[in-house]
Chains A and B, each alone.
Chain A
């Protein structure tokens, strides 16, 4: 299982020094990671080695159903974005992308909180350079803002990490294994502090209102392949952590904080969607739709019913696929028009029918159209929201309406209407671009009709969590 982390990491180093055809090497390593990921998913045993004895840190990796879904999403998205990125990114980006993949995989595999934390923080360095080295004119500033938010959240998480150490050493010998930490009997006050620290960190990561402000700036300035890796892979670590660590380790405090979290989630859902409607910059728009979606995921997590949690896990996968498609299509559109401003585009439908069609499919998936994968997860989350409180359900349901507005209105403004007269003809998607999008769209359709495999992977993870929480109530 260590191999799954080492392959992309070695790939990053080799790509960085390879003088000839570094991008091909990077792509090769991404494919190798995909293969290793698929193989380890079914064969590899868990890893558990002592790493730093005095601190009770173990190099412990394991993959449950939830982990498998996130690993699958990660190893599949990286090679796809690499193909999408090939024209306007140099080898530094490819090396950083592989490093990012290695650390992201490590967070999803970590069975030791310390290892999780290290990987959680280490993802920021590649992300920082990916934003800073490629993208819009204000990218350095966006990278700094991104990093400051994330590191701030990370340091707060460090407080929780140390809190666990103190509790764990008081209880005997220190251990950072998540399975050991789950056994600890933590006092109510300490548990609440630890929860607050962890939640702040994951809320920054996910992001949730009111610590979301880095998101739109980052997606605006970064290139779209970078945004895909940030929003579709990296941000998932936030919601992943909420399930794995908040619910898993401090369930009582999670139940205690649920009302506040639910309100924040509802604000994120509505506020993100309303902001998205008002955006003129397509990339900001997509970034803000994610704020709305992460609100729904968080709502599903903290409603803490079986449907809600399964729905949230599914949502993480489906949102990853749908938003990746949205970002990449937007990226293709922007390379053609040279701007991300919606108001400077119109009538592209006739010149670029394939582009328009894929945009519509991905957009409707985002909006939760039945038959496309995100619908299933959205419905499950909404059911759990109604279970929690009917008022919460009512507010959350507006997400569907608002999503339809921001997707369809954007489509209308960009693609319909009289065609622009332009000296430079706009070409439709070429074969490489279609090739990038096909796997994503197929996945959207397939999991829309056959969500069974995803649900059965998530079920066993969710059941014990829900039992613990319901026993607590």
Chain B
């Protein structure tokens, strides 16, 4: 007979709440009058995220930690809940950036009417009437829900469903930029097509792994693999699933969408997506590789090592030649994926091991990238945001505070001491070196040197170069954006100076469980 699985609502309600808020957002969109939609959607999203964050903290502190629910489909363990909390924190910042309407004469960064073709009268009408898409909030909430599920998925099917739930809204959000719409739509199409392919490959791999183990549960797969040893089915499955996840994180050779999407998407979306997607994808990847494929470490570690090496070197090298700040940060995101993959090569330990290292890196990177893109959205010219780095010259003289804050984020990404990025980098390198992966660490150190060059060059441009005639200016944002930037900068510095509490929290959170 068929028995319904027991579900522990006490531990799952934060996820369910986020998804419920997303559904409520759709209803609001349908029934609330246009004038009230913006405020309703923003407050709904913020309230939902805050409540979910509180719930996640409660779950993390509670006794339910370490249990699985829904017949093992969802695993509530320390690292999973930590990454959920991180996704929620970053998403709170994301909502604040989405709601920014002061920068562009009272309208948001999203297209007035997405269906209107670029350059047509319909588009002009939409922008004259001040239309805006408030659907972005429910879309974002769906994605956040998917990310939270992705962090705690304990079986293959849930992993796939969560992946799709988080991906589809991202494709849409990418195409909704108000300015430079063709670029945005092209990015969305590219992201969608490649993403759909990678999902297909992921699904194929998933089916092969199921064929090998006869079970969807990651823990069961791990057991079967440990008992029976690996077979061609399993290896092929691991490879194909890895492709799907490596695509999401933007690892070489599956990175080509990253710079285009980062550049084309509305900047608030880029800010939020670059941080949140990476957190969720790496949380899932850590769980998949440690729990299900832990026994095959000797086989996937060298392969991931090669990918990590390529990702770091190519990401850092291509970032050097970029002239657009968003593309540069896009390639830098690729390089960071490489550093994170370096951390993945380590092993889980009770003390400070690779899980802790990767999660700390994600925390550091999440805040730095959120803040950095938020600042990118402030630097504007007559035609909206200024991406061209040449026009950023001299920003340190005209707007010392904004430039200094941006420098803090860049220095953290470069991994200088007294910023969070340094502890993050230290951690992933230590994890990999502890596992004897010194060749990858050597390359990682080399790529860090390359990476520092382009971060420092931007600082040099801002502070030591004279402004051009058409130099960008900094618009005054609303309080929400200011708060996001300040808090991100504060977190970046604090995590660098006193990382102790977060490190201890991570160590106490323990490893992934099956």
Contacts and interface: CB of A to CB of B under 8 A. Distances in A.
A182 interface: no
Contact of A158 (B445, B503, B506): B445
B503 A144 contact: no
A117 interface: yes
B500 interface: yes
A122 B417 contact: yes
Interface in B344-377: 351-352, 356
Interface stretch (B72-80, B236-244, B456-464): B456-464
Nearest to A161: B426
Contacts of A166: 430, 433-434
B499 A52 contact: yes
A143 B460 contact: yes
A162 B417 contact: no
Interface string B173-212: 0000000000000000000000000000000000000000
B434 A169 contact: yes
Interface string B444-478: 01001100110011001001110000000000000
Interface in A155-199: 155-156, 158-159, 161-163, 165-166, 169, 174
Interface stretch (A145-153, A251-259, A276-284, A434-442): A145-153
Contact of B430 (A52, A122, A147, A165): A165
Given A125-B411, A144-B457, A165-B430, A132 B464 contact: yes
A53 B500 CA distance: 6
Contacts of B445: 155-156, 158-159
Contacts of B429: 158-159, 162
Q: Is the interface of A mostly helix, strand, loop or mixed?
A: helix
A139 B430 CA distance: 36
A55 B441 CA distance: 18
A140 B460 CA distance: 7
Contacts of A53: 500, 503-504
A118 interface: yes
B52 interface: no
B281 interface: no
A118 B417 contact: yes
Contact of A121 (B416, B433, B464): B416
B418 A52 contact: no
Given A54-B507, A159-B441, A121 B463 contact: no
Nearest to A139: B464
A155 B416 contact: no
A161 B452 CA distance: 19
A52 B503 CA distance: 8
A416 interface: no
B433 A148 contact: no
Nearest to B425: A158
B442 interface: yes
Contacts of A161: 426
Interface string B248-278: 0000000000000000000000000000000
Given A54-B351, A132-B460, A162-B441, A148 B426 contact: no
B500 A140 contact: no
Contacts of A144: 456-457, 460
A122 to B, nearest CB: 5
Given A148-B449, A158-B445, A159-B441, A129 B456 contact: no
Contact of A162 (B430, B460, B504): B430
Given A155-B445, A155-B448, A161-B426, A143 B464 contact: yes
Contacts of A125: 411, 416
Contacts of B453: 148
Interface string B407-444: 00001001011100011011001100110000001100
Given A54-B352, A122-B418, A155-B449, A147 B503 contact: no
Interface residues of B, number: 36
Interface string A385-417: 000000000000000000000000000000000
Please indicate which of the listed interface residues B356, B500, B507 has the most CB atoms of chain A within 10 Å of its own CB: B500
Interface string A111-129: 0000001110110110011
Contact-size category for A: 35 or more
A51 B500 contact: yes
Contacts of A140: 460, 464-465
Interface in A84-123: 117-119, 121-122
A132 B456 contact: no
B442 A121 contact: no
Contacts of B422: 118, 121
B356 A54 contact: yes
A285 B364 CA distance: 44
Interface in B465-514: 465, 498-500, 503-504, 506-507
B452 A169 contact: no
Contact of A169 (B351, B425, B499, B507): B351
Interface in A40-93: 51-55
Interface string B125-157: 000000000000000000000000000000000
Contact of B426 (A128, A152, A156, A158): A158
Contacts of A51: 498, 500
Contact of B433 (A132, A143, A162): A162
Contacts of A169: 351-352, 434
A119 B452 CA distance: 18
A352 interface: no
Contacts of B498: 51-52
**A121, A125, A163, A166: most-surrounded residue (chain B CB, <10 A):** A166
A152 B457 CA distance: 15
A133 interface: yes
A165 B423 CA distance: 13
A332 to B, nearest CB: 26
Contacts of A124: 416
A122 B434 CA distance: 26
A12 to B, nearest CB: 13
A139 B464 CA distance: 9
A155 B430 CA distance: 13
A381 B426 CA distance: 38
Contacts of B423: 52
A16 to B, nearest CB: 10
A133 B260 CA distance: 35
Contacts of A122: 416-418
Contacts of B448: 155
B175 to A, nearest CB: 38
B503 A54 contact: yes
Contacts of A117: 417
B391 to A, nearest CB: 17
A152 B449 contact: yes
Contacts of A132: 460, 463-464
Given A148-B453, A162-B426, A54 B418 contact: no
B351 A148 contact: no
B464 A133 contact: yes
A45 B172 CA distance: 62
Interface of B: 351-352, 356, 411, 414, 416-418, 422-423, 425-426, 429-430, 433-434, 441-442, 445, 448-449, 452-453, 456-457, 460, 463-465, 498-500, 503-504, 506-507
Given A148-B453, A162-B429, 12 more contacts: A122-B418, A148-B449, A151-B416, A152-B449, A152-B452, A155-B445, A158-B426, A158-B429, A158-B445, A166-B430, A169-B351, A174-B352
25 contacts: A52-B423, A52-B500, A54-B356, A54-B503, A54-B506, A54-B507, A118-B417, A121-B416, A122-B416, A132-B464, A140-B464, A148-B456, A151-B414, A151-B456, A155-B449, A158-B445, A159-B429, A162-B426, A162-B430, A162-B441, A165-B430, A166-B430, A166-B433, A166-B434, A174-B351
Interface of A: 51-55, 117-119, 121-122, 124-125, 128-129, 132-133, 139-140, 143-144, 147-148, 151-152, 155-156, 158-159, 161-163, 165-166, 169, 174
A-B pairs with lowest CB-CB distance, top 9:
A140-B464, A118-B417, A121-B417, A54-B503, A132-B464, A54-B352, A52-B500, A162-B430, A152-B449
